[in-house]
Chain A
Amino acid sequence: MKTKSITKLLFAIPMLALISCGGGEKKSLKAKKHKVNPVTIEVKGEMDAELTAPPFVPASVGNRPAKKLNVNMEILEEVGEMTDGVKYVYWTFGGSVPGSFIRTRVGDEVEFHLKNHPDNKLPHNIDLHAVTGPGGGATSSFVAPGHETVFSFKVLNPGLYVYHCATAPVGMHIANGMYGLILVEPEGGLPKVDKEYYVMQGDFYTKGEHGKPGLQPFDMQKAVDEDADYVVFNGKVGALTGDNALTANVGETVRLFIGNGGPNLVSSFHVIGEIFDRVNVEGGSLVNEDVQTTLVPAGGAAIVEFKVDVPGTFILVDHSIFRAFNKGALGMLKVKGDDQKALYSGTIQEGIYNPEGGTIQEIPVAEKAVVKKGKLSKKEQIANGKQLYTQTCFACHQATGDGIPNAFPPLAKSDYLNADVNRAIDIVIHGKTGEITVNGKKYNSIMTKQSLNDAEIADVLTYVYNVWGNNKTVVTEKMVKARRSGGGH
């Protein structure tokens, strides 16, 4: 009881606040309304809508007046290829995933003919987010196989909208590919650009794991768990790569109509190497500029525009990045044209940066340890060598001489080391690449050429040979000199 009355009180306060500033709110809403009330836009004439399969979009509405627009859409259930060797039964609007792109303008009266192919097993309907009305049209468009339903609606709000099937089980119908985009252009159309494309993300749930060949049925449990096997653009892995890549020329402005059918996952849409000059956030009227990654909600959309200034291949990804590289959410935009060195140089220089051993290279002789010169006793050599080891060898071969499994071979009790002192000297002088076997284990990495003088090499090797159970060889400066001048390589 007590809780209830508190809740009531809590409700009452904002209610009062709302009432007191009600007038002001109304005003601001009004100011945001479109100049022409779209409800009153008269339609002039009639035309059949051009429908396109992705990644293409129909021509812009341009300056045409609002019309009665006939949309004829056929629902097809058909087997398609998810990725090489993996088949899937797609349910489609117009024979493609995503479904056919519909392009309208504010004030159009759309007469929608939804046709369910007689071969289909299931009834379907369509919910267009661009519709103002119950179910977005779904309540009026339920259609059995071999039948057609007709309903009409007036498009009132400009923007990019998702449409999808809303027949039980809704999630399954969407998961099988029943979604697409409908664009409502403002009067006069969107500003002209050079290239327009249609890209829509979707997540798929298959009985077999990602890549398991054969006809894969829909997996309801995985869908409920939101554990996608495939996250793809335009219905399948590779729909926008290789020969299917989007194309543009240097200097052109590209507009992408991005949708996300879901059913579950939200997309972090990003084009690697591009910055979106303009984004119609969530497909609406709000424009953001200079955007790196834009969120596209499941059942939502975005319009992104950017000028392609330099040639190359630009990768479209869902920047939830494992989806891109492991589940298929990857597309390509290939831009042709001359290099624009001032904007992007390409690789100017290629070299190695590897603080702890890369390929064979010189390490600058900078801060050298001050070591005792002249003829040294074995003990002195070991002391010097230890110091040098700590500076030069320690990072890879470790303080204990055990190395790092699978990366850097051990020096402690090393059969490879103890077998051939000259080989050991050569390696320190020249570096070493390629496969070797040490104590029965294979290593295939790179040791740099060390910038040590002959005496230092003698000392460090003497140290190494006299610790960790090695064979107590003493390496002299003379031995090193001999290898450097004559032996080895």
Chain B
Amino acid sequence: MIKCIFRLAIVLLSGLFVQTGYGQSGNAVDIIGGTYIPLYGRDSSQVTVSDFAMDVYPVTHGEFLEFVIKYKKWQRSEVIELFADGNYLLDWKGDTILGDKISENAPVTNISWFSAKEYCSCQGKRLPTIDEWEYVAMASETKLDARQESTFNQYILDWYERPKQKNQEVGSTFKNYWGLYDIHGLVWEWTYDFNSVLISGESRKDVDNDSDLFCGSAAVGASDLMNYAAFMRYAIRGSVKANYAMRNLGFRCVKD
């Protein structure tokens, strides 16, 4: 059933593009929308994602530096605490100077949701929604939806499990089906509606909640690696607030 919908979507949409598959415009790629069941969902909770264009790489320190030079109110000493906590750009040397050990091409982290959202909007873009992000995150190098593949899931879980992987440059992980780099294996990424997931942190309680996310069937019987990977992503989203700036959390933008 889902497959049919996908095929239909691809057939319909491929007519609209001169190229088949994904097209490219600057540093973004076009993502052809579709319908899928999120990791946590049941058959009834299918999600439809419209077409959008997504940045190939997460935003880098170098790019973010240009942004704060241009928009002074987002510099470390100027930023309003309500919009960014004390960890904001913590590893930079100064307002407009990167830290010694920071590569310009490494993904920017220690940035808040507010600052990420502003960065995107200043470029005429926006942050991806959870549904959009999860949609492209299903893709391995060759498949649009590789969630059933154990090696793909193990790759994701390995990264989630391993601390202290910093200062890698963007593009250092694999290029996925859509042409996106670093969706998995580099940094966590902000989403526009990250806090729409009602997770209290007491996961066992959440299991009982009659919510879309932790419906009993997915949570209680969650024995698939893919569910575990999803739980970890939703846990991290549920743990943050919009002014948090975290060392492992970056972002990228999308455009309709």
Contact = CB atoms under 8 A, between A and B. Distances in A.
Interface string A65-89: 0000000000011100000000001
Contacts of A120: 163, 248
Interface string A94-136: 0000000000000000000000011111110101000000110
Nearest to B158: A217
Nearest to A218: B161
B154 interface: yes
Nearest to A127: B202
Interface string B236-255: 10111000111110000000
A144 B236 contact: yes
A166 B200 CA distance: 11
Contacts of B161: 77, 89, 121, 176, 217-218
A212 to B, nearest CB: 15
B53 interface: no
A119 B163 contact: yes
B238 to A, nearest CB: 7
B204 interface: yes
Contacts of A141: 201
Contact of A169 (B199, B203, B244, B248): B203
Interface size class of B (residues with CB under 8 A): 35 or more
A145 interface: yes
Contact of A167 (B154, B164, B203, B219): B203
Nearest to A145: B246
Nearest to A116: B239
Contacts of A123: 201, 235-236, 238-240
B234 interface: yes
B157 A218 contact: yes
Interface size class of A (residues with CB under 8 A): 35 or more
Contacts of A145: 246-248
Interface string B149-163: 000001001111111
Contacts of B203: 166-170
B198 interface: no
Interface in B75-120: 87
B157 A142 contact: no
A458 interface: no
A89 B201 contact: no
Contact of A146 (B228, B232, B238, B246): B246
Interface string B208-245: 00000000000100110100100110111011100011
Contacts of B188: 121
A166 B204 contact: yes
A220 interface: yes
Contacts, number: 114
Contacts of B163: 76-78, 89, 117, 119-121
A169 B231 contact: yes
A138 interface: yes
B228 A172 contact: yes
Given A78-B163, A144-B246, A118 B87 contact: yes
A139 B232 contact: no
A224 B225 CA distance: 11
B223 A224 contact: yes
Contacts of B154: 207, 217
B247 A168 contact: no
Contacts of A121: 159-163, 188, 236, 248
20 contacts: A78-B163, A119-B166, A121-B159, A121-B162, A122-B160, A123-B235, A135-B205, A138-B202, A143-B239, A145-B246, A146-B87, A146-B247, A167-B235, A168-B199, A168-B203, A169-B203, A169-B232, A170-B203, A217-B157, A221-B223
Given A138-B204, A168-B232, A224-B223, 9 more contacts: A78-B163, A121-B188, A134-B202, A139-B205, A146-B245, A167-B201, A167-B235, A207-B154, A217-B158
Which 4 residue pairs of A and B lie closest in terms of their CB atoms, listed nearest first?
A142-B201, A123-B239, A168-B203, A77-B163
